[in-house]
Amino acid sequence: MYLLFGKQKAVLLDTGATKRTEDFPLYKTVESLIKKFAGIEKPELFVIHSHYHTDHYAGDSQFSGKQNVTLVEPTGAAMREFFAFEQWPNGEAYFDLGDRNLTIIPTPGHQEDAISLYDSQTKWLLTGDTIYPGYVHVKNWSEYTKSIARLDEFVTTHEVSAVLGAHVETTTTPGEIYPIGTIYQPDEVPLLLASKK
């Protein structure tokens, strides 16, 4: 999950795999972070998703019906409408947080409605489950290769300081993967896949 804020708005990318507020008080945590760091009394918060898999939207119920929160459903139709994509998966969409611009890049393949997000302030490329340190499960190989080509073209014309996915599944031992469902990963590799100094 990533929380980004500009001068007028904040965006939360993904809400995680846990519904229970008692175990995972995400809304309260996000609210406290905005108050602490955003310098905005009550910005509008937009909750969006990298794609439509449960482990990326299970926490949505914590944001539903909250004041100043726009919860974009984690469906392709809702996301394409919200960002006004005209020719999915071609082209890009843009979202201004107030002196902080985000570029939304279609990256289907792992899942048909997947997006990646580029933050102009940090120069981060947030890739969801399209690229991360682990085995990437691909639903549609043809679309996935086009998405990787799209990201490759994007990084040739934009400065990228870091590529950050949404999962860490590998250990510091090359080729060793944590079993599915592991919740304690003391020897995981760093999430950061690339950086420029």
Q: Provide the CATH number for the domain around residue 135.
A: 3.60.15.10
Structure tokens at 65: 């019906």
Q: Is the pLDDT of residue 112 over 80?
A: yes
Which pLDDT value is given to residue 131?
Answer: 92
Distance CA 12, CA 45 (A): 7
Closest CA to 50 of 127, 119, 112, 132: 127
At 41 the pLDDT is 67
Sheet holding 69-71, edge to edge: 2-5, 9-13, 44-48, 69-71
- pTM reported for the whole predicted model: 0.91
Phi, psi dihedrals of residue 48, rounded to the nearest 5°: -125, 175
Q: Does the pLDDT of residue 197 top 60, yes or no? A: no
**By percentage, how much of the chain surpasses pLDDT 90?**
64
Q: What is the pLDDT of residue 38?
A: 67
Q: Which helix (H) or strand (E) holds 16?
A: none
pLDDT for the residue 121: 95
* pLDDT confidence of residue 190: 86
> Is the model's pLDDT at 86 over the cut of 80?
yes
Taking residues 87-93, what's their average pLDDT?
93
Work out the mean pLDDT of the chain and round it to a whole number. Answer: 91
* Contact (CB, 8 A) for 25 and 60: no
SS3 157: helix
Q: Higher pLDDT residue, 180 or 5?
A: 5
The pLDDT confidence band at residue 195, using thresholds 50, 70 and 90, is low
For 159, the domain range is 2-195
Tens of pLDDT, residue by residue over 71-83, are: 999 999 999 999 9
Q: What is the structure's pLDDT at 40?
A: 65
Cα–Cα distances in angstroms (integers) from residue 115 to residues 143, 154, 164, in the given order: 12, 13, 13
Dihedrals phi, psi of 10, to nearest 5 degrees: -130, 150
Q: How many domains does the chain have?
A: 1
Q: Chain centroid to CA 168: how far?
A: 14
Taking the alpha carbons at both ends of the chain, their separation in whole angstroms is: 24
